[in-house]
Amino acid sequence: MSARNKTGISFFQRMAFKLARLSVIVAFALGLILSLVQVYIDFSQQKQFTGQKVDEIFKVTHNTTQRAIYQLDKDLAKEVLVGLSNVSFLHYVKIVDEEDEILAELTVDRQSSRTDNLTQFLTSETATYESTFLSRRGEYQGRITLIVSSDAALAPFYDRATYIFLSGFLRNFVLSILLLLLFQYFLTRPFINLAEKFQNINPSNPSEDLLLIHDENHKFDEVGYIVNSANILISEILVLNNALEDKVATRTQDLQKALEKLELSQQQLVEKEKMASMGQLIAGLAHEVNTPLGITITATSFLQDLTQDVRKLYSALSLTQQELDSFLHDLEEGLELSVDNLSRASQLIQDFKQVSVKKSLKDIKPLSLKSLIEGVLLKFQQQQHSFNHQLHLSCNDFIVTCDSLAITQILKQLLLNSIVHAFEDNSPGNIHIDVSIDESSVLIHYYDDGVGLSAAHLKTLFDPFFTTKRNAGGTGLGTHVVYNLVTQALGGSIQASSESGGGLAFDIRFPLNNYPT
């Protein structure tokens, strides 16, 4: 049995990361709302506290201020103001007599702070408080006026608000790390381990050592249920395989023909499954994990019942060849269906290997670009039996250092793109490839005279899964692969231009010397 690819799910596509991210977003939203409510209450209380402090100032200075006003004693009034100069939030204070003549005034200069704009947004820049003095007969004698700097008065509030938001952010960050580790340990890891175990099962040659071992932490949950079903199925297969070994040996030729048909059907199912998986990936990887688990449970349960029925027929010596062939056919398909679905999450990632491009030093070498392109065009024409288009190459013979395999793949993909999309109904057309160089780069101008693309389609041409031939089997990965090859393998850039009905053009530019330093 050939080695299968080990499960390799991207960290950002794992269920643990998605669940942790969702939990943190919800916790952050709730925490932000609670923090805002707490900050608003604190803001209101701070304003009330400032008013209370002003009232205390009025009470403490009342007698002295009243005596200064009554006696028109400016020195005493100044002493009152000097005593108030140490109040942190005081901006301006004055004492006036009954004629509103100023006995004393004091202005406290304050430097601007980073919270001035925020203070102006939340409230007024200053707040004015007054205390009026009356004689025993109720006649107006004078007043003291205090103007409070709102920014200075709110300074303690800003400190507390900063602490609230920073502590909330730190709390959510620690929570996200903890949730990620918990989800990874209790959810993602058991399913990945289970998928890897299923990959090692060979339906055509099962053995006792392939029985799945219980993890005590998951003995009674969904993972344990799948393990139990798989073990029962493997055990039944072992019993039936041993009992039928002699009879199967005498009919090897017939079974070989049936096996060839099954392998052909298997290949077709695999191809269909790849296409179906590619489409389902767009709907979300989370759905792709849940769906195959349900299919596997259904398939194993069905095969378990089917195995019991065949075993009864065998025990009663009434098992016919047709029933045996039908059982083996259903058995192979059921096991293949279970393995394919359990490894689908891993398989989806593997399908994108062609999109991921890595530089290979052995393919980067000095070469004649003209000879390379001519060889690619000649081989491509030979492979296309119904090729009826004209190829036009304009390229001088010069040496470049680049990834030859990347150039080959890019040209093949662009040629296929023109044949499939540009020339409908295989109508004849022209494909041009113009190559030029400057001091440090190579420019390949590729264009055809096909149907072209609309402006809307041109914007998404290099996006994965974009295709105008989805109903005809298009995957939408061709131009995306070309884009990755140009930008990653060649370290260059690519641009596309088109007018509907006027053909499609690609301008590819990459360094003349592409050997990595």
pLDDT digits (tens, 9 = 90+) for 40-74: 888 788 788 888 888 888 888 888 888 888 888 88
More confident residue, 248 or 257: 257
What are φ and ψ of residue 297, in 5° steps? -60, -45
Q: 331-361 in b/e burial notation, b at 16+ Cβ within 10 A?
A: bbbbbbbbbbbbbbbbbbbeeeeeeebeeee
**Rounded Cα distance, 495 and 429, in Å:** 22
| Structure tokens, 406 | 């990347």
**Rounded Cα distance, 479 and 498, in Å:** 15
Give the rounded distance of the alpha carbon of 494 from its chain centre.
Answer: 25
* Beta-carbon-side half-sphere exposure of residue 229 (alpha carbons within 13 Å): 23
Q: What pLDDT was estimated at residue 444?
A: 94
Contact at 8 Å (CB) between 455 and 502? no
Contact at 8 Å (CB) between 83 and 95? no
| Secondary structure class of 122 (helix, strand, coil) | helix
**Rounded Cα distance, 296 and 340, in Å:** 9
**Rounded Cα distance, 285 and 291, in Å:** 10
Check pLDDT > 80 for residue 459.
yes
What are φ and ψ of residue 390, in 5° steps? -95, 125
Judged by phi (left if over 0) then psi (alpha if -120 to 50, else beta), residue 473 lies in left
Q: What pLDDT was estimated at residue 285?
A: 42
Using alpha carbons, list the distances in angstroms from residue 62 to 51, 67, 98, 108, 178. 16, 9, 16, 21, 59
DSSP state of 432: E
Q: What is the CA radius of gyration of the chain?
A: 40
pTM summary value: 0.36
Check pLDDT > 80 for residue 495.
yes
**Rounded Cα distance, 279 and 232, in Å:** 33
Place of tokens 């540009």: 422
Using one digit for the tens of pLDDT, what is the confidence trace for 191-205?
A: 777 777 777 766 666
Using one digit for the tens of pLDDT, what is the confidence trace for 275-309?
A: 544 454 444 444 445 666 677 778 788 888 888 88
* Beta-carbon-side half-sphere exposure of residue 38 (alpha carbons within 13 Å): 14
Q: Which residues contact 231 (CB under 8 A, 6 or more apart)?
A: 211, 212
